[in-house]
Amino acid sequence: MLLDKLEEIEKKYDGLNEILSDPEIFSDYTKSQKYSKEQSDLEDIVQIIKEYKKILAGIEEAEEMLGADDEGLRELAEAELEELKEKKPAVESELKLMLIPKDPRDAKNIIIEIRAGTGGDEAGLFAADLFRMYSKYAEKRRWKVEVMDMSSTGVGGIKEVVASIQGKGAYSRLKYESGTHRVQRVPDTETQGRIHTSAATVAVLPEAEDVDLKIEEKDLRVDTYCASGPGGQGVNTTYSAVRIVHVPTGLIVQCQDSRSQIKNKEKAMKVLRSRLYDLELESQEKERALERKSQVGSGDRSERIRTYNFPQNRVTDHRIGLTLHKLSLILEGDLDELIESMNVHFQAEKLKEV
């Protein structure tokens, strides 16, 4: 089965070489670029396939030499066979990893939505902590964070924040952050030192572009209204805030971050496209029964995925059973160990399917 797949890849690679040697294709810039990229994407795996086949051929040859009359040849064959059998599993594993289909969304920017859940004011404060954590992480990676809409609480917390994070590999790094995040700590307002449990939800959506889906104007209802909150003289005097309703789905997005109505509409449309794109992807994924054998670690935003325990300086990711005693560092944006552990876990799950 594996060898059949490898043969297919080699044939495709050889076929692309033939296509690219055609003068007609070579003179057509668009086609040449398209086929060159396909060939380039296969180069690494083709090199590993050749190495793997060389190992298999070497093992076969060494096994035949084990029956030689010459004792010296037999000893050489045994040593060669042992060496090749040691190398084979590592190369095989590398091949299987390379055969895992790449998520085409990995290179996309993201829309991140954080909402306070159960826990009153404390949940709002925790939502603010999470937004700061992701903003710090983005800053470390030199990504750009842009707030699209934010609703604050009166005690410095956040009821809801919608922001875009733009940077190389943003979705690939943060796609498993979707879900319910739980916090356990003693609130500042608690006089008896009791630990309270609160929650906030995080949704990470790949930012959709115009080419990803088409939105009909007739399906939209656009309302403008006066912005509220920080904003200087423009607050409550100009109709700069925008609310867009997507009538077929009932999705509502709004933006009042800018004093320009046009800019606010552009930002609101960006969020709407990403939510609709996410709905479409969710619908497709539900149809893939093999990929939905278990909801554990699926990234479903309804499940509790992580607990942040302040008294013990502990963060636990429940999907993979990982516990780190570095809560203070994680809240400062030191997320790489968590994120990489999640990526390794999901890669291993996909590898089982391969």
Any domain includes 171: yes
Any domain includes 176: yes
Kindly give the interhelix angle for 2-20 and 71-99, rounded to the nearest 10 degrees: 70
Single-letter amino acid, residue 335:
L
pLDDT at residue 29, rounded to an integer: 83
The tally of domains found in the chain comes to: 3
Percent with pLDDT over 70 in the chain: 88
Kindly report which listed range (46-50, 79-83, 105-109) carries the lowest average pLDDT score: 105-109
Q: Are residues 262 and 235 in the same domain?
A: yes
Kindly report which listed range (174-178, 206-210, 321-325) carries the lowest average pLDDT score: 206-210
Any domain includes 292: no
CA angle 144, 148, 149 (to 5 degrees): 140
Q: What is the pLDDT of residues 26-48, one digit of tens each?
A: 888 888 888 888 888 889 899 99
Single-letter amino acid, residue 228:
S
Look at residues 87, 315, 88, 56 and name the one whose alpha carbon lies nearest to residue 184: 315
Q: Are residues 17 and 88 in the same domain?
A: yes
Single-letter amino acid, residue 197:
T
Q: What is the pLDDT of residues 266-308, one digit of tens each?
A: 888 888 988 888 888 777 666 544 333 433 333 344 568 999 9
pLDDT at residue 94, rounded to an integer: 84
8-state DSSP, 94: H
Distance between CA atoms of residues 188 and 68, nearest Å: 81
pLDDT band at 198 (very low <50, low <70, confident <90, very high): very high
Angular region, 164: left φ>0, alpha ψ -120 to 50, beta rest: beta
CATH number where 40 lies = 1.20.58
Q: Are residues 189 and 308 in the same domain?
A: yes
Q: Are residues 255 and 200 in the same domain?
A: no
Any domain includes 293: no
Q: What average pLDDT does the segment 70-85 reach?
A: 90
Per-position DSSP letters for 243-293, written without gaps between them: EEEETTTTEEEEE-SSS-HHHHHHHHHHHHHHHHHHHHHHHHHHH-GGGGS
- Burial level of 293, CB count in 10 A (0-12/13-18/19+)? exposed
Distance between CA atoms of residues 93 and 78, nearest Å: 24
Q: What is the pLDDT of residues 300-342, one digit of tens each?
A: 445 689 999 999 999 999 999 999 999 999 999 999 999 999 9
Q: What average pLDDT does the segment 145-158 reach?
A: 89
Any domain includes 32: yes
pLDDT at residue 25, rounded to an integer: 84
Range of the domain at 237: 217-286
Q: What average pLDDT does the segment 225-233 reach?
A: 60
Spatial neighbors of 187 by CB under 8 A, at least 6 apart, are 121, 122, 125, 196
Any domain includes 291: no
pLDDT at residue 32, rounded to an integer: 86
Any domain includes 270: yes
Beta-bridge partners for 37: none
Q: What average pLDDT does the segment 97-104 reach?
A: 79
Residue 247 CB neighbour total at 10 angstroms: 11
Extract the tokens encoding 336: 């790489």
Q: What is the pLDDT of residues 237-261, one digit of tens each?
A: 567 888 999 998 989 998 887 788 8
Is the pLDDT reported for residue 57 higher than 90?
yes
